[in-house]
Structure 1
Amino acid sequence: MELRLYLRMLQRGWWLIVLTALVSLNAALIASYLATPQYQTSARFVVSPNPSIISGRDAVSSLATLDKRSIVSTYAEFLNSQRIYQETLDALGLSSSQVKGYTHNAVVLPDANILELTVVGPNPQMTALLANSIGQHAIGAIREVYAVYDIRFLDPAIAPEKPFSPKPTRDAMLAVALGVVVGSALAILREQIQAPLDAYRRRRIIDGVSTAFTRRHFERRIEEQITRDPQGTFSLGLLQLSGLEELIDTLPQPIVQRVLRQVTRTLRDELRGNDIIGRWNDIGFAVMLPATPGNGAARTLTRIHAALSEPIELEPGGDVIQLEPNIGIVMYRNGDTLPILRERLENSVEHARRHAEQPVFLMEPAA
């Protein structure tokens, strides 16, 4: 259930996921285009007992000493030494500014007496030159201090043919994957934030008992209709359920809710999709029929009157009540305002209540 909920969130926020992925892809491609290519090369060195000094049983013990890794780690620090690096630059006639974009690092390979010196920089020939030169100077410095264990080149560095960074294809794929992950998180976060906001907005415009619009929202829609088309035609109907007048305060709330929601369903079944339904008061509903003249509204509301005149069960198989609907109808005239329409609408339904022979009353505009 939880998984399906998240899948629906992602489905609704698909555009956000796609947008984030595209933004990430473009950012990665632009960064790859603007980035300076970086080349990487490595030189490897082997550490072993010096055969000119050690032989026989001493060679065996010296190999055992190498297994403790302290000698090899010390040699790695020579390769990483800032003094060795500066001496190398001086020997090559290079200044620090000329190698500003270069880095070097030496590590001991696992389970081996092998050192690897890696140099990274924007020029492939310079990276190889620095790696080999640093190695050569470090070998000289080490031999001055440690004569028992020799260090020499195993694999000299060579100039790389292709940069190791940037890699547009790899970066683009990673960017898209990251964009999808971030977009999915944003889509879920958006749903989590939007759900309470939607619920709050819904509570402001939807009557929780009947599920029709609140009166405040209904009247706002009337004003919007007048503003949008001040010379247009629309009709309003007000339904008063007189049969509920004495029961609304005594019936249990669940029963009142069931009855009023059934009234709302009946109105929706009989009206068009663009017609608007609002709860006017405790026992009243109002409807707005856009682009509908008074006679057309009267025919529709007469049909609704017949549907609402049928007995309604308070509970399945239980008592029934008669809603006794009375309906007043008015048609908008050019120049009418909301207060005028409200007054005419309430007068028309009051007329319908007082004249039982005319339960659906259309108040004709005054000449």
Structure 2
Amino acid sequence: MNEELIRRLRICTSLPTPPSTAVRIIELANSPNASLTQIADAVAFDAALATKMLKVANSPLYNSRRSASNVRQAISLLGTHAAITIALSFSLVGGLKSSRQSSEAQLFWQRSILSALACRVLAKHFKLPADDLLLAGLLQDIGILAMQTACAENYTQATAEAADHDQLLQAERTAFGSGHDEVGYWLLKRWHLPDHLAVSCLTSHIEPNGEIAVNSNSCVAVSGYLADVFMKPTDPVVTLRATNAAARWLGMEAQAFTDIIDGMREGVKEVEDLFDTPLVEASQADALVAEAKELIFIANLRQSREMEERALRDALTGAHNRAYFDDALSKEFELAMRHGWPLAVAMLDLDYFKRINDTYGHAVGDAALQSVTRVIQSQIRNGDIFARYGGEEFVLLFPGTPGDAAAKVLNRIRETIASFHHTVDADTSFKVTVSIGLASHANGQGAIKSGMDLVNAADRALYLAKAQGRNQLEQSRF
């Protein structure tokens, strides 16, 4: 962490600190021998905390078959670990909230409590430790409070332009050399909280490396995005950002994501009461869930279309693949036959391409294929269909186009490809040429009986172009 920032934090006399009850509970959390009696005793000294613990033990969050009438029974129902974690959650939030009453602090705690709720719902969905996750969600951004206090006006000025949480973190790092993730880790270590809570401040702000890992850290990371959905219910970008985050970190599909949003809506009133913090009005929460579902449906539909489109593209060049071409050829040939429209098909093959791979390597060869693809795409109309047929062979379909018109386009393509320099390094470049076979029929009648007949005729013309010396166009007419 940045040394100057550490110095500021250390000399700051108003840095957030846990209340005395939380300090005692932290000691119990770090003791392997903590008993239910000790926990109940610590909780009982704080009347407000005792009331909350009794309430949570009897709340739908725990669905216990037994009810508790006093703090001792509540602690017994919850169990040692859950009781410590929940008590720590309430005592920390209660103490830290009372020490700062600004509008910024209010927004901070609203988001933190919503993150905690999201963590609990995610924990239930993925069968993870719910109470640990709730506390991690609450504290993952505690470094913001510390930075707001230690850096005061500088912090407000540095982060004023941040439009979302990710931009806030980046602005902090730019201005202070470290972000609230590192400060949160430093602060929770200073408070002697369990290591996994301090570590979650760091890991929940690190982008996934492409591998989906469903664990506590990834749930905490996603929880902040889910909180933002409830904080900014009318902003569709926020909802879509949360959908993408859930997919990146947790591999969560649209339906599962909407289930999480629903679960949060159902739990909002409960956590509002437990943390004494207004979050979202019931009517607003219902409307938010409905809108989120609609946005997610639209996004999912678009994603499905994009996936379908990618499935019909060649991975290397981005041109359509053979499956797409075969389907388009069949449809266009049928239309040409039915209406008497002209149709042309061209086969294109790069000359002596194996020499390029053998001389410069396959990476250079792949780059050349990509460059040729861009050249061809720049020369054809939107309605023309271009595909990679295999290896260094491409195919072009010209719907409604006579052979002579297609030949003009193809000769222009051939000349452009021949003049293009492919760079290997600062001192080395090369050129490639292309041989082209064209087949067409003018009125949908004659010897051509199928689209593949036209392709085969173009292929024979291509063979003739190669036999004639390459870098030329040969044409068959029917």
Given the two structures, how large is their TM-score scaled by the length of structure 2? 0.38
Higher relative contact order (CA 8 A, sep 6+): 1
Query: Higher strand share goes to which structure?
Result: 1
Query: Higher helix share goes to which structure?
Result: 2
Given the two structures, how large is their TM-score scaled by the length of structure 1? 0.49
